[in-house]
Amino acid sequence: MSGMWGNNIRVSIFGESHGNAIGINIDGLPSGFHIDMDKVMVEMARRAPGKSPLSTPRKEGDIPEILSGYFEGKTTGTPLCAIIRNSNTKSKDYSKLKDVMRPGHADYTGAMRYDGFNDYRGGGHFSGRITAPLVFAGAICKQILESKGISIAAHVNSIGSIKDKSFLDVDINEELILSFKGKELPLINSELEEAMRQEVMNARKDMDSIGGTIECVVLGIKPGIGNPFFDSVESTLAHLMFSVPAVKGIEFGKGFDISKMRGSEANDEYYLDGKTIKTKTNNNGGILGGITNGMPIVFKVAIKPTASIFKEQSTVNIATMEETKLSIEGRHDPCIVQRALPVIEAVTAIGILELM
């Protein structure tokens, strides 16, 4: 089972979408760190469902219950364990899905991997609901990083064909990051918000779904963090990004577009800003040789369209080994890009703290 990750900050996730609870165990946190639970709850609310027409109507409080590793408002240094109880489940909506495989979901691969013993209700352990404990852990890691002058933020880079500006093309500062606070669709160009909402609602009207991209930045990180090859900043973050359901791609800096450039364009030339070495461009996303160069870390992830759609699709009943048709019922997001934002920020914070 691959429910554990990390060497310095070790996390272990557990639970199923329609089980009693989901949760996480975090080992390696420093002792004596004051956790601002109000800030943690802000992050939990960002990911929680049922807030707008852009997401599933399933409502969950997503209130973490800390079982250990936390005393009088501070970390004890021992493993911190928390659970989040599932309170709004409708398991009967999934009764016919035990044998009928949903296209785009992990139903078939999960059944093959676990010999049919996996909990299929709501996707079980494969569900995006399991990202709630990751957001809890990431919220704590974000606070620790903030105490070291490091901040993490993400914006919706695109939904469908509607595309926002990139962090690489603007001045990334605290004012810009603060402008994202409290917004369901944080954008550099806020004038695009209505067009993005309409893109999602059009997909919902068509009984379909839509995907997009999220761009994330790490500000304030010093040069010299990370390692070449297997424990590079890129490989560490990429490992965590692909642990988030629906992430299908990642690129750092200019990413795939850098392949179209010449070296003279792609190279980030150095200059002195007082006694600080900076680069004129950030095409490499703040990372060279797997190690931070002091510029903001910038990367982008691709989020696939929500697999659960109401349109009829072709599939197979693995019990009878017959082809069949399936119209998915239940409560589903027409787009999960906006709810994935705090998850991407959370796992970034876990990864950066691990590297530091």
Mean pLDDT, contiguous 10-residue spans, the chain (356 residues): 85 85 93 96 85 64 91 95 82 72 88 82 77 95 96 96 96 90 93 95 93 97 96 97 95 97 96 95 97 98 93 92 88 88 97 96
> Do residues 223 and 292 touch, judged by C-beta distance below 8 A?
yes
Question: Which residues, other chains included, contact 164 with Cβ-Cβ below 8 Å and sequence gap of 6+?
Answer: 155, 156, 157, 158, 187, 188, 189, 192, 215
pLDDT of the residue at 60: 62
Measure the CA–CA gap between 2 and 8, rounded to whole angstroms.
17
160 is in an annotated binding site: no
Sequence ranges of the domains in the chain:
4-355
Q: Is 125 annotated as a binding residue?
A: yes
Indicate the CATH number of 4-355 among 3.40.50.410, 3.90.320.10, 3.50.50.60, 3.60.150.10.
3.60.150.10
Query: Is 85 known as a binding-site position?
Result: no
Output the CA angle 99-21-204, nearest 5 degrees. Answer: 60
Report pTM: 0.92
pLDDT at 50: 62
Determine whether the annotation assigns residue 259 to a binding site.
no
Q: Residue 180, annotated ligand binder?
A: no
pLDDT attached to residue 293: 97
Question: Do 90 and 96 touch, CB atoms closer than 8 A?
Answer: no
- Residue 47 among known ligand-binding residues: yes
Question: Does 320 belong to an annotated binding site?
Answer: no
Q: Are 302 and 211 in contact (CB under 8 A)?
A: yes
308 assigned ligand-binding residue:
yes
Euclidean distance between CA atoms 281 and 253, whole angstroms: 10
CA atoms of 131 and 186, how far apart (whole Å):
20
Q: Is 305 annotated as a binding residue?
A: yes
Distance between CA atoms of 146 and 293, rounded to whole angstroms? 19
